[in-house]
């Protein structure tokens, strides 16, 4: 049985990892490493509990910090784990510092890297996530791409080998959650949009997040806005602006 180390650390990665772990039972020896990039209970432990996925074998407790500090700590802590476990491949998701640390550490140890959500691009190099996703794609041995556009993006960068269109793993998770009864449809299902904003590029300036909220407010249906801890900055915006009654 092939051993795969799955490196996760941020809220979306727990959700993306879940359907893959559930589908791999009896087929792969899946070892999970939690970097601790997200450590708040509502952004970490609650997902393992509700989605009924395995408790990570390792928790690096990287915590917060600058990009260099956070990524560097992950690299230092990941290396001995990968050397000890000797996996057949390392699985990473998305575009976080956990993604980049896992991909760099594995590639330097000559361990194949599998990247889920490869090929996505914002074409904005001011976003650290764009750097993470580009670098990860270029050291990956197997690239799982959610869209045809992603395949074209990789092709434009000279990456054409072992690129596989798989669709959206988040949609897979919705189907799993429905089957497990975790996700239910309320009486207002289909009558609203659901939104969250979390990338620093979109949350660090009140003007930028304010423009996003104004767009939400102009949509034909009301918006249920789940506030990421980083977006508490907008509370002052809400208190000043009374025009956001559709959010």
Domains of the chain in sequence order? 3-180 (3.40.50.2000), 192-240 (no CATH)
pLDDT at residue 238, rounded to an integer: 61
How far is residue 85 from each of residues 106, 108, 158, 197, measured CA to CA in Å? Answer: 12, 15, 32, 36
Residues 6+ positions from 30 with CB-CB distance below 8 Å: 4, 6, 20, 21, 24, 54
Q: State the pTM of this model.
A: 0.84
SS3 of residue 229 by DSSP:
helix
| Residues forming a β-bridge with 195 | 225
pLDDT in tens, 139-164: 999 999 999 999 999 999 999 999 99
pLDDT in tens, 216-238: 999 999 999 887 777 766 666 66
What is the CB neighbour count within 10 angstroms for residue 116? 22
User: What is the pLDDT confidence band of residue 198, given thresholds at 50, 70 and 90?
Assistant: confident
Which range among 10-14, 109-113, 241-245 shows the weakest confidence by mean pLDDT?
A: 241-245
Which residues are tagged catalytic? Answer: 198
The whole-chain average pLDDT of the chain stands at: 88
pLDDT in tens, 234-245: 666 665 555 678
């Amino acid at each position: 049985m092939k051993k795969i180390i799955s490196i996760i650390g941020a809220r979306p990665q727990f959700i993306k990892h879940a359907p893959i772990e559930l589908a791999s039972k009896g087929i792969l020896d899946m070892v999970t490493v939690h970097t601790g990039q997200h450590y708040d209970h509502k952004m970490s432990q609650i997902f393992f509990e509700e989605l009924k996925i395995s408790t990570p074998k390792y928790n690096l407790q990287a915590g917060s910090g600058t990009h260099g500090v956070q990524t560097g700590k992950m690299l230092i802590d990941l290396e001995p784990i990968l050397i000890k476990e000797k996996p057949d491949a390392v699985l990473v998701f998305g575009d976080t510092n956990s993604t980049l640390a896992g991909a760099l550490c594995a590639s330097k140890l000559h361990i194949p890297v599998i990247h889920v959500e490869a090929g996505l691009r914002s074409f904005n190099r001011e976003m650290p996530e764009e750097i993470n996703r580009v670098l990860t794609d270029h050291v990956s041995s197997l690239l799982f791409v959610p869209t045809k556009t992603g395949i074209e993006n990789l092709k434009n960068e000279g990456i054409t080998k072992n690129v596989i269109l798989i669709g959206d793993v988040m949609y897979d998770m919705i189907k799993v959650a429905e089957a497990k009864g975790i996700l239910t449809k309320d009486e207002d299902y289909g009558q609203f949009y659901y939104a969250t904003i979390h990338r620093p590029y979109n949350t660090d300036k009140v003007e930028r997040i304010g423009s996003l909220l104004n767009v939400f407010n102009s949509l034909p249906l009301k918006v249920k806005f789940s506030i990421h801890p980083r977006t508490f900055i907008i509370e002052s915006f809400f208190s000043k602006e009374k025009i956001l009654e559709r959010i």
